[in-house]
Amino acid sequence: MAGNPIETLMNPASIAIVGASNNFTTMGTIQCLNLITNGFPGEVLPIHPKKKAVLGKKAYQTIADLPYAPDVAVLVVPTRFVPDMVEDFGKLGTKHMIIVSAGFKETGREGRALEKILIEKAKRYGIRFLGPNCLGIVNTHLPLNITVGPIQDYNGKLGLASQSGTYIAQVVSYLHKNGIVMSKAISVGNEADIDIIDCIEYLGQDETTRAIGLYIEGIKDASRFLEVAGRMSRIKPIVAQYVGGTEAGARSGSSHTGALSGPDHLYEALFEQAGIIGVESIEEVYKVGWALASQPKLKGRRIAVLTNSGGPGTGIANTCDRLGLEVREFSPILQEKVSQFLQSQASARNPVDLTFHVDMKAITEEIPRLLFESDEVDGIIIHGIMDTAFMELLFPAVRRFVNVSKDELIGMTKIGMDELVAMPERYGKPLLISSFFGREDNCIQTFHTKGIPTFDAPEKAARAMSAFYKYLLFRNRPIESPALNDTAPDEALRLMQQSGETGIDEFRAKGILRAYGIPTAKEALASNLDEMKTDAEEIGYPVVLKVCSSKITHKTELGMVRLNLKNEHELIEAYHTLRAKAPDSMLLVAEMLEGDREFIAGISRHPGFPPCVLFGLGGVFAEAINDISLRLAPLTRTDAYEMLDGISSSKALGAYRGMKPVDKEALADILIALGHVAAQFSQIKEIDLNPVIIVDGKPFVADALMVI
């Protein structure tokens, strides 16, 4: 981790803070208070122009008055003071800072200009910093807390990095109530220097962090994000929420941190390619992240469901099945073993349904042991374990008939769960708990204390288990590097030079594709009727006749394509029709591909991202159906195959209704080659190959559009 500035920020021996006072209503004071009272073992050096002491610590009137250069400086001051204070700390020799102050690029043009000055001054003195517009950091293992939220739990396993300070600083109570303990947490703010990619790299190598949770409003450098996250996700699971995919989300993120957003499908592709588990809510970032941090990895997809009620068990099983997990019926041997602990009406098939079995030992010890020991089970979800909270609800009714105090009744109902909480690590299988009770119940408190994840709905537990399966699939990917030649093929360069700045017509576009080994329909360019007749004879009827012009893109909609011309008479008729529509354009004669399926492939570009390669269901309904998958170029072969399997209609690639299976290797070659085209010709803004027609199982490009 040498060279990562976050290492010093997380482990300083001394911290100077500007903006703290003895007024507990100010942010700087609260942050300093937490720094002092949450156990930081190093020196705290407040700077205040008037006070001689701040929160019991000696205060210094100016930065220059400090006795030495602190490891870290924290600024919680009005925006206009920040650049000069950065310079003052630079002169003193401080190399790491946390700039909490807001009012920079997130506010508009003037703020961007001020942030530029801030960056220049920091670079001049070799200062690395978080922020501006951030809420600090947490290290529960030092401990260190420079946020507004007091630490409630220490020595955690879930690392967090967020482009919203709230999700680091104001969630400590929520995390405590849910048994979730942070290892390290980082608010990145505007990312003027240290960014969320640096955080991923740091947390990926941090020994105290077993899983990483991210809140993302936008990524500045998607190529670097992909490279770093791709490496780190092989070391430990990463869970992320992205919120900039809608107009409202993008607008809010931009005003919040100045983030560079993009459409949801682009970030979904980025996450998939990087091995990141994308989730819909911040709750899932915490809860799914904690489950992955606290439990053993899943080794297969066979899940055992144990419940004291049929409805929750069915909900878990149904959700698991939808998300690719298997809730298989147990073998007769395992069912027989389980049945000895069930009442006659209960089911041992999987889900194991105790039908509100009152004896909790069966659900907390005997049956779980059988399931953990079984080679038919890879992971376990249990719903319905409870003790004290349920009895507290019953007490008003019970006291009418039994002379016992509430404390006595609750004390009698406490369950010992030492055996159950030890099973995940003993057997190397994850355990997730579903319960409608929270920390008011002794069982849930025990789970939280022992690091067993709990969920307040059965389906949430199932969705969390599916994240274990996703991570299993990510871990099992082959380790590959995309192959990319330094120079484009000579023929592709020649055709691109011919096109100049006027654009690329379909004939030249297909010539470029063929130079990269992409198969296309046979075709020829004709300027007059005689050439067209000769070309059609050489290609062989039936043929297609098209207007060929870089200025005309959507030819079908304009009636400039004639299909399935079976003879010369039909060809001549089509010629005159198209000549009337486009008298000055060349005509393209091409073979009529008779295929059984149509797909679409292409590339597009988005600010801050490498070229994006697309694959999906094609034809005239491609835009209406919108069944596509995406990856960022350049592609590995695994990326390409995942794209093919990633569309909803992927079954159409196999043997289907008497049709041969599609040559997936040939399709993958097309997608990989498209990535190479995009990487080597940055002037190509967009490529649209629609349709890619499957003929006798082989793909051929029938139509190609390239936009400069």
| pLDDT tens column, 390-442 | 878 888 888 888 888 878 777 777 888 999 999 999 999 999 999 999 999 99
Q: Can you give 185-243 as a three-state secondary structure string?
A: EEECCCCCCCCHHHHHHHHHHCCCCCEEEEEECCCCCHHHHHHHHHHHCCCCCEEEEEC
- Between strands 43-47 and 14-18, the pairing is parallel
Quote the mean pLDDT of the chain: 92
Give the per-residue pLDDT at 502. Answer: 66
Residue 149 has pLDDT above 90, yes or no: yes
Q: How does residue 3 score in pLDDT terms, banded at 50, 70 and 90?
A: confident
Cis ω for the linkage preceding 691 (within 30 of 0) = yes
Residue 252 has pLDDT above 70, yes or no: no
Q: Which part of the chain has CATH 3.30.470.20?
A: 597-707
User: What CA–CA distances, in Å, run from 690 to 601, 603, 621?
Assistant: 7, 12, 11
Residue identified by tokens 């469901």 is: 305
* Rounded CA separation 170/80 (Å): 26
Residue 629 has pLDDT above 80, yes or no: yes
Q: Measuring CA to CA, which residue among 311, 383, 307 is closest to residue 349? A: 307
Residue 248 has pLDDT above 60, yes or no: no
Give the per-residue pLDDT at 246. Answer: 59
Residue 630 has pLDDT above 50, yes or no: yes
Q: What angle do CA 394, 395, 397 make, to 5 degrees?
A: 75
Residues in the chain: 708
Percent of the chain, pLDDT > 90?
82
Q: What angle do CA 68, 124, 109 make, to 5 degrees?
A: 115
Q: Measuring CA to CA, which residue among 11, 68, 21 is closest to residue 42? A: 11
- Superfamily designation of domain 5-292: Succinyl-CoA synthetase domains (3.40.50.261)
Residue 707 burial (10 A CB sphere; 0-12, 13-18, 19+): middle
Better-scored residue on pLDDT, 621 or 382: 382
Q: How much of the chain is in helix, strand and coil states, percent to nearest 5?
A: 40, 20, 40
* Rounded CA separation 197/231 (Å): 12
Give the per-residue pLDDT at 202. Answer: 98
Give the per-residue pLDDT at 554. Answer: 77
Residue 651 has what DSSP assignment?
A: G
Q: How does residue 250 score in pLDDT terms, banded at 50, 70 and 90?
A: very low
Which amino acid, residue 276?
Answer: I
Give the per-residue pLDDT at 409. Answer: 75
Sheet holding 523-526, edge to edge: 523-526, 586-591, 543-548, 561-565
Q: Can you give 383-437 as a three-state secondary structure string?
A: ECCCCHHHHHHHHHHHCCCCCCCHHHHHHHHCCCCHHHHHHHHHHCCCEEEECCC
Give the per-residue pLDDT at 424. Answer: 98
Helix segments in 582-707, DSSP class H: 622-625, 637-646, 664-680
Q: Do residues 413 and 388 touch, judged by C-beta distance below 8 A?
A: yes
Give the per-residue pLDDT at 701. Answer: 96
Yes or no: is domain 296-475 CATH 1.10.3720.10? no
Q: How does residue 255 score in pLDDT terms, banded at 50, 70 and 90?
A: very low
Burial 395-429 (b: 16+ CB within 10 A, else e): eeeeeeeeeeeeeebbeebebebeebbebbeebeb
* Rounded CA separation 403/48 (Å): 63
Fold type of domain 597-707: D-amino Acid Aminotransferase; Chain A, domain 1 (3.30.470)
Phi-psi region of 59 (alpha: psi -120 to 50; beta: other; left: phi over 0): beta
How confident is the model over 128-147, as a mean pLDDT? 97
Radius of gyration of the chain (CA): 32
Give the per-residue pLDDT at 343. Answer: 86
Q: How does residue 481 score in pLDDT terms, banded at 50, 70 and 90?
A: confident
Q: What angle do CA 302, 305, 310 make, to 5 degrees?
A: 140
Q: What angle do CA 89, 93, 98 make, to 5 degrees?
A: 50
How confident is the model over 24-49, as a mean pLDDT? 96
Residue 357 has pLDDT above 80, yes or no: no
pLDDT in tens, 653-705: 999 888 899 999 999 999 999 999 999 999 999 999 999 999 999 999 999 99
List the single range of 80-84, 188-192, 241-245, 681-685 with lowest mean pLDDT.
241-245
pLDDT in tens, 517-554: 999 999 999 989 999 999 999 999 999 999 998 888 77
Phi-psi region of 19 (alpha: psi -120 to 50; beta: other; left: phi over 0): left
Residue 362 has what DSSP assignment?
A: I
Tokens of 680: 């080597």
Tokens of 175: 């995390």
DSSP one-letter string for 499-558: HTTT-B-HHHHHHHHHHTT--B--EEEESSHHHHHHHHHHH-SSEEEEEE-TT---TTTT
Q: Which part of the chain has CATH 3.40.50.261?
A: 5-292, 296-475
* Rounded CA separation 43/701 (Å): 68
Contacts of residue 311, defined as CB under 8 A and 6 or more positions apart, other chains included, come to none
Phi, psi of 659 (to 5 degrees): -90, 150
How confident is the model over 443-450, as a mean pLDDT? 96
* Coil, helix or strand at residue 574: helix
* β-bridge mates for residue 278, sequence order: 240
Residue identified by tokens 């073998």 is: 331
Residue 301 has pLDDT above 60, yes or no: yes
Of all helices (H) and strands (E), which one includes residue 379?
strand 379-383
Give the per-residue pLDDT at 294. Answer: 98
Assigned architecture for domain 522-591 = 2-Layer Sandwich (3.30)
Q: Do residues 478 and 638 touch, judged by C-beta distance below 8 A?
A: yes
Give the per-residue pLDDT at 256. Answer: 40
Give the per-residue pLDDT at 258. Answer: 44
Q: What is the distance between the terminal CA atoms of the chain, rounded to a whole angstrom? A: 43
* Rounded CA separation 204/211 (Å): 8
Give the per-residue pLDDT at 400. Answer: 81
Percent of the chain, pLDDT > 70?
96
